[in-house]
């Protein structure tokens, strides 16, 4: 079963995010109270799989959900294999659309400086909020391929 492991946000960009257990995703905006939320970008919310975090742990890094500045930590979804345009439903209310896989990491990346390695450039997924709602740890996730109707 695919699910949300953590919901994370931060008030300032360039910092690790704190696991807040639940928060509200606003349609066309992102996670309320998070520094990266913005109506004018295709990267309104970021996702990272706990499987990616666990690989970093197996290399000896002491990392947790939110340490890579992701908003939603997932389990049971191969995020990086999802095509752009894939829709991700969280429970019955929230609907996200994948807009970008990975990102260019700028030279002063705070995550890289704090941890020594950043996986967001290859394993982070970004999405826009199609339909908002409350999202919390434990919520079930379902993935719809491009063209499926929810």
Q: How far apart are CA 95 and CA 2, in angstroms?
A: 15
At residue 26, φ and ψ (nearest 5 deg) are -95, 130
pTM of the model: 0.89
Residue 135 contacts residue 32 (beta carbons within 8 Å): no
Which is nearest to 82 in space by CA: 50, 126, 45, 52? Answer: 126
Ordered by where they begin, the domains of the chain are 3-144 (2.40.33.20)
Q: How far apart are CA 6 and CA 107, in angstroms?
A: 27
- Residue 123's pLDDT is 86
Q: 83: buried, middle or exposed (CB in 10 Å: 19+, 13-18, 0-12)?
A: exposed
pLDDT at position 117 over 80: no
Q: Residue 135: which pLDDT band, with cuts at 50, 70 and 90?
A: very high
pLDDT at position 57 over 80: yes
Q: How far apart are CA 24 and CA 78, in angstroms?
A: 24
For residue 48, list its beta bridge partners.
Answer: 73
């Amino acid at each position: 079963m695919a699910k949300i492991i953590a919901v994370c946000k931060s008030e300032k960009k360039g910092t690790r995010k704190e696991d807040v257990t639940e928060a509200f995703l606003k349609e066309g905006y992102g996670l309320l109270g998070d520094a990266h939320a913005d109506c004018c970008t295709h990267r309104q919310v970021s996702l990272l799989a706990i499987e990616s975090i666990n690989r970093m742990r197996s290399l000896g890094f002491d990392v947790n959900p939110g340490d890579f500045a992701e908003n939603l930590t997932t389990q049971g979804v191969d995020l990086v294999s999802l095509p752009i345009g894939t829709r991700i439903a969280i429970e019955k209310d929230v609907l996200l659309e994948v807009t970008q896989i990975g990102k260019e990491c700028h030279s002063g990346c705070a995550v890289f400086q704090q941890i020594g390695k950043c996986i967001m450039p290859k394993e982070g997924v970004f999405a826009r909020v199609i339909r908002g709602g409350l999202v919390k740890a434990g919520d079930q996730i379902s993935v719809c391929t491009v063209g499926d109707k929810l």
